[in-house]
């Protein structure tokens, strides 16, 4: 299966037992988060040494309630601390990856 074309296609893949091996690591990280596996998502995100990895890392720490740590990672990602919901942010990050 190729990379989803949009967020609805991404959501449809959540019926599968694992993400596609060909997907970028950042997309896999968000897939695991959407499946409720914070640890797997975090394990991938912390190995992504770029702005997208820092953004996902920030989002995950925000999700766990660690705003201090999240703030650090948002700064590393060159992003402001978001005012949107976690679900909205997950969608924004995912869509940013899908449009690359």
Q: Where are the domains of the chain?
A: 25-98
The answer to whether 13 and 20 have CB atoms below 8 angstroms apart is: yes
Backbone angles phi, psi at 7, to 5 degrees: -65, -35
What is the DSSP annotation of 59-87?
A: HHHHHTT-HHHHHHHHHHTT-PPP-S-HH
Instruction: Give the pLDDT of residue 1.
Output: 60
* Integer Cα distance of 51 and 89 in angstroms: 15
Report percent pLDDT > 90 for the chain.
96
Instruction: Give the pLDDT of residue 13.
Output: 96
| pLDDT score of 99 more than 80 | yes
* Integer Cα distance of 12 and 20 in angstroms: 13
Query: Can you tell me the mean pLDDT for 39-60?
Result: 97
| pLDDT score of 20 more than 90 | yes
Contacts of 30 (CB under 8 A, 6+ apart): 10, 41, 56, 90, 93, 94, 97
Q: Quick one: how far is CA 40 from the chain centroid? A: 11
């Amino acid at each position: 299966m190729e990379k989803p074309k949009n967020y609805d296609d991404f959501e449809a893949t959540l019926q599968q037992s694992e993400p596609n091996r060909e997907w970028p690591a950042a997309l896999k990280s968000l897939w695991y988060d959407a499946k409720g596996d914070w640890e797997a998502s975090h394990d991938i995100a912390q190995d992504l040494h770029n702005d997208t990895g820092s953004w996902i890392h920030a989002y995950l720490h925000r999700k766990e309630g660690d705003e201090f740590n999240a703030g650090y990672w948002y700064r590393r990602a060159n992003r402001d601390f978001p005012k949107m919901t976690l679900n909205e942010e997950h969608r924004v990050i995912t869509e940013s990856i899908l449009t690359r």
